[in-house]
Amino acid sequence: MSIQDVSPCVKCYIMEVQPNETLTNLKAESDTLKTKLEDERAKLHDVELHQVAEKVDGLGQFIMKTRRTLKGHGNKVLCMDWCKDKRRIVSSSQVSVWIIVTFSEEHAVTMPCTWVMACAYAPSGCAVACGGLDNKCSVYPLSLDKNENLAAKKKSVAMHTNYLSACSFTNSDMQILTSSGDGTCALWDVESGQLLQSFHGHAADVLCLDLAPSETGNTFVSGGCDKKANVWDMRSGQCIQSFETHESDINSVRYYPSGDAFASGSDDATCRLYDLRADREVAIYSKESIIFGASSVDFSLSGRLLFGGYNDYTINVWDVLKGTRVSILFGHENRVSTLRLSPDGTAFCSGSWDHTLRVRWAALIGIHIFGTRGTVV
Amino acid sequence: MTIRNVRDHGQRFRPRMACLKKVESVMLEMQDPKTGVKSQPQRLVITTIPHAITGEDIVAWLTNCYSIETEEAWALGTMLVAFGYIYPLQDHKRLVIKPDASLYRFQTPYFWPAQQWPVEDTDYAIYLAKRNIRKKGILEMYEQVQYNSLHKWMNHKWDFIVMQAKEQYRAGKERKKPDRVVFDCQERAYWVVHRPPPGTVSAMDYGLERMVDPNTEELVLCLFSLFSSLVKYSVTYNKHDPFLAPCLPSNPWVTDDVTYWLLNMANVEIPTKMRVERWTFSFAELLSDPRGRDDFRLFLKKEFSGENLAFWEACEDLKWGTAATMNDKAQQVYKTFLTRGAPRWINIDGKTMEVTVKGLKHPHRYVLDAAQTHIFMLMKKDSYGRYLKSPVFKDTQKRAICPDQHMFSVSQLEANARKRRPSISPIIVRQLEQEERARMATSGPVDITQVMSKLSNKGKEVPPSKK
């Protein structure tokens, strides 16, 4: 950097240097000043998301109602996932895995297992994967026969050296992505159980993962007890981006629907939004009154709303663009442990340690959307 | 749908970037409280404008800072005004520096010109509409002409525009008067720069578009534009979000009526208008909806370029498929699409072909990545645009249905609730698909597009499941 590139205020500073200073010292000084100038310039670019969103309409008041309450697990619900048919879910608890056709509230299948912390529905809807304290992820092909013993046909796919915290099928039934308490994530071939790729980089338990939504995407994001959220390239196993701004364990990560950003929920009682192209955190969703950790997050279809399930039994709904809380939902009688939007965005399901799963819909007050005459259902 | 509009000075590869960065660093220095241009509140008509600076102060500062002659400083100052970083408080349409006591202000960074964020006609329409609301007849002649023209070609979203304008106007009224005056000045200045009056020279004019995207070299990314794209996504999908806008005819979870799901099944003959609208948002959106993909496939067939989509699908199948069948699949793809004289030969550039063929000697699941990306971009940049203008799409669009909203009485809702039934099990759906595939396989050489389109017509005549 030549002396001409430096602003007048900086020039003066350099001129005051003592005669016995060496050239290297001077260079070091000017480098520091250059960084400071860059920081200043960057600050000018430091617009906040909510400022850019100023022109966008604010959200009004919401009504959110529970449409289905599914009891029957008889135990803490730990995880759930939707089937692509938008009506069925798989949910897991400390002692069993249920497949439920939530729309008609029909329990389809029960499988006794122990401490199943992760479960996922296959894209075809014909199998589910689950695992937990057994350090494994197993795939169960489903059957039309309700009485069939599914455990007999189960296939062990993933083997970790510690508990399985999360699992997800990729774009087909043939591959599964897992994350584990052993600090790694892994991609497996279902048919053979072969390890296709492993992902090392977290310094502690990995608690969650989410696949990128884009059509040509080959990346996923994971969050861990090391407070880091890492973005991985599935092909090479490389960690391509890392974000470390949370102050505690990251319990849940979810991509923004466009795939350009992702949200995280953490034990530090905040949810945060990270933009992948800006390579930094761009919003924090927090309130002084929210003290307990967020266990699970998901976006609404347009990405405007962020639903967060918290350890204080509530669900907070955030306006992603404006950074404000739009609504707080009560109803669960213990921690909310899992929360997912249905595949077409018409409802979301939350599972809790109070043994229930609740499916809720929502509507902005003032928009005539109920399709009902008379009372709100 | 990307509508190319010369007025918004291009969507990509505008080559103005380098100077914008430099100007911004100058602006930073000019606004330094100690060594920048000295500013003071000035009384102007009946209001007091904070932080106003005079033209002669600006020129003097530039002269000093860069050790240049007054004339050169004057020219530089004019460029700063022409680009919209400084704006005049009087005679606002003339973007020049007058080296006298004429007053100027620094433009807020929110309104600075940005490379990646094109200045949209929608925003201009909202701005003009807002001014119209404030006081009818206030628009200048050239603005009125623009307004009429925008009204004509943006007719389909005019309600949205008027709504936004009203909202902004209302929000503006709630501000304190001095803030409002300042904001109005800033906004007006912004639009003078980006929608200049006729006959004036515009600094935003940059000549031919470049072939190379300067944005890829950018290290300090403009957050403003990134945030804007997040905001834009949400706003675009707002009407499609069941939490923010009504599902037509009704949300099944609310009314226990599943018409919404039936109308939006993967393989319906006639899609809904909302669904078709989503296909216009992006190519990825079109491809990810099976019905949309079918429509696109039909279009490609008529253009005799169906092999591109077939190849892309084959690559996806390879990537996400079972490890055991991978080798065979890769060879099959090579024979069908890549080798010389292949039945469905795809057109990729020499280098990509070379890399792909070399990789196929030791195939792995990502061996076709380069070729797949090339074909994807080809479809996205070329076929997709033509598809949206094609008779195939226009016909689908015309036939698309828009169901009326349900109006159920309380007793009807109760009846709906009683009639809830589980849907077809996905297992049955898959069985049917497999049977269909088997039937196709036994009937001679398979044209993959025919298999896919036949499959897409199935799925409706399924037997009711056992309870």
What's the pLDDT tens digit per position in B337-381?
988 888 988 888 889 999 998 888 888 888 898 899 999 999 999
User: Which residues on neighbouring strands pair with residue A263, listed in sequence order?
Assistant: A254, A273
Cβ pairs A/B, distance under 8 A: 263
**Of the candidates B440, B429, B438, the residue with the CA atom closest to the CA atom of residue B463:** B429
> Has residue A343 got a pLDDT over 90?
yes
Q: Residue B217's pLDDT is what? A: 43
Q: Residue A82's pLDDT is what? A: 95
- Which of B 168-207 lie inside 8 A of A, CB atoms? 168
> Has residue A38 got a pLDDT over 80?
no
**Residue A374 region by backbone torsions, left for phi larger than 0, else alpha for psi between -120 and 50, else beta:** left
CA separation for the pair A89, B313 (Å, rounded) = 28
Average pLDDT of the residues in B89-114: 86
Q: Residue B224's pLDDT is what? A: 78
Span(s) in chain B for CATH 1.10.167.10: 271-399
Q: Residue A161's pLDDT is what? A: 93
**Of the candidates B26, B63, B78, B56, the residue with the CA atom closest to the CA atom of residue A7:** B26
Q: Residue A35's pLDDT is what? A: 73
Chain B within 8 Å of A33 (Cβ-Cβ)? no
DSSP for B179-203?
A: HHHHHHHHHHHHHHHHSPPTTS--T
Whole-number percent of chain A with pLDDT over 70: 85
Q: Residue B414's pLDDT is what? A: 87
CB contact under 8 A, B410 and A374: yes
Are B166 and B133 in contact by the 8 Å Cβ rule? The answer is: yes
DSSP state of B272: B
Q: Which of B223, B264, B322 sits opposite A191 (nearest CB)?
A: B322
* Dihedral over Cα of B450, B451, B455, B456: its sign: negative
* Secondary structure (3-state) at B369: helix
> A14 Cβ partners below 8 Å, 6+ apart?
A3, A6, A26, A29, A30
Q: Residue B413's pLDDT is what? A: 85
* Distance separating the N- and C-terminal Cα atoms of chain A: 69
Q: Which of A103, A144, A277 sits opposite B425 (nearest CB)?
A: A144
Q: Which of A57, A83, A189 sits opposite B322 (nearest CB)?
A: A189
> A102 Cβ partners below 8 Å, 6+ apart?
A68, A70, A87, A88, A89, A349, A357, A359
> Has residue B441 got a pLDDT over 90?
no
Q: Residue A183's pLDDT is what? A: 93
> Has residue B115 got a pLDDT over 70?
no
Q: What is the largest CA-CA distance in chain A?
A: 91
Distance to chain A for B401, nearest Cα, Å: 18
B23-41 residue pLDDT tens: 888 888 888 888 888 888 8
> Has residue B172 got a pLDDT over 60?
yes
> Has residue A106 got a pLDDT over 90?
no
User: What are the CA-CA distances from residue A206 to residues A222, A224, A236, A339, B224 (Å)?
Assistant: 7, 4, 19, 18, 33
CA separation for the pair A187, A10 (Å, rounded) = 53
Q: Average pLDDT of chain A? A: 83
Q: Which residue has the higher pLDDT, B142 or A146?
A: B142
CB contact under 8 A, B234 and A303: yes
Q: Average pLDDT of chain B? A: 82
For residue A290, what are its two tokens? 């929210």
**Of the candidates A22, A5, A79, A24, the residue with the CA atom closest to the CA atom of residue A337:** A79
By C-alpha distance, the chain B residue nearest A41 is B25
Which residue has 């530090």 as its token pair?
A268
Grade residue A338 by pLDDT with cuts at 50, 70 and 90: very high
Grade residue A5 by pLDDT with cuts at 50, 70 and 90: very low
Grade residue A2 by pLDDT with cuts at 50, 70 and 90: very low
For residue B227, what are its two tokens? 């945030």
Are A118 and A131 in contact by the 8 Å Cβ rule? The answer is: yes
CA separation for the pair A140, A108 (Å, rounded) = 14
**A136 phi and psi, to 5 degrees?**
-120, 165
Task: Give the count of beta carbons closer than 10 Å to the beta carbon of residue B100.
Answer: 9
> Has residue B123 got a pLDDT over 50?
yes
> Has residue B6 got a pLDDT over 90?
no
> Has residue B282 got a pLDDT over 50?
yes
By C-alpha distance, the chain B residue nearest A306 is B243
> Has residue A368 got a pLDDT over 50?
no
Q: Which of A9, A101, A108 sits opposite B35 (nearest CB)?
A: A9
Chain A within 8 Å of B241 (Cβ-Cβ)? yes
Residues of B in contact with A302 (CB under 8 A): 233-238, 240-241, 244
Span(s) in chain B for CATH 1.10.10.10: 18-114
Chain B within 8 Å of A55 (Cβ-Cβ)? yes
Q: Residue B447's pLDDT is what? A: 53
Q: Residue B455's pLDDT is what? A: 52
Chain B within 8 Å of A124 (Cβ-Cβ)? yes
A196-206: burial string, b at 16+ Cβ within 10 Å, e else:
bbebebbeebb
CA separation for the pair B210, B217 (Å, rounded) = 14
A255-302 residue pLDDT tens: 999 999 999 999 999 999 999 988 899 999 998 888 888 999 999 999
Distance to chain A for B310, nearest Cα, Å: 15
B374-422 residue pLDDT tens: 999 999 999 999 999 999 999 999 999 999 888 888 888 888 888 887 7
Angle at A273 between CA A271 and CA A275, to 5 degrees: 165
Whole-number percent of chain B with pLDDT over 70: 86
> Has residue A198 got a pLDDT over 90?
yes
- The residue of A304, A358, A359, A364 whose CB has the most chain B CBs within 10 angstroms, and thus the best one to mutate to test that interface, is A304
User: What are the CA-CA distances from residue B174 to residues B125, B170, B187 (Å)?
Assistant: 22, 7, 17
Are A353 and A346 in contact by the 8 Å Cβ rule? The answer is: no
CA separation for the pair B61, B30 (Å, rounded) = 8
CB contact under 8 A, B324 and A172: no
Q: Which residue has the higher pLDDT, A361 or A11?
A: A361
**B374 phi and psi, to 5 degrees?**
-60, -50
Q: Residue B221's pLDDT is what? A: 52
Are B346 and B375 in contact by the 8 Å Cβ rule? The answer is: yes
Q: Residue B209's pLDDT is what? A: 55
Q: Residue A81's pLDDT is what? A: 95
Distance to chain A for B241, nearest Cα, Å: 5
Q: Residue A45's pLDDT is what? A: 54
CB contact under 8 A, B237 and A372: no
Are A108 and A83 in contact by the 8 Å Cβ rule? The answer is: no
B210-256 residue pLDDT tens: 544 545 444 345 777 888 889 999 999 999 999 988 888 888 888 88
Which span out of A218-222, B87-91, B134-138, B171-175 was modeled with the highest average pLDDT? A218-222
Distance to chain A for B385, nearest Cα, Å: 18
> Has residue B137 got a pLDDT over 90?
no
Chain B within 8 Å of A143 (Cβ-Cβ)? yes
Q: Which residue has the higher pLDDT, B429 or A210?
A: A210
Q: What is the CATH number of domain B271-399?
A: 1.10.167.10
CATH class of the structural domain B18-114? mainly alpha
> Hey, what long-range contacts does B94-100 have (CB within 8 A, 24 or more apart)?
B95/B192, B95/B193, B95/B200, B95/B203, B97/B55, B97/B58, B97/B59, B98/B55, B99/B55, B99/B56, B99/B59, B99/B70, B99/B74, B100/B54, B100/B55, B100/B56
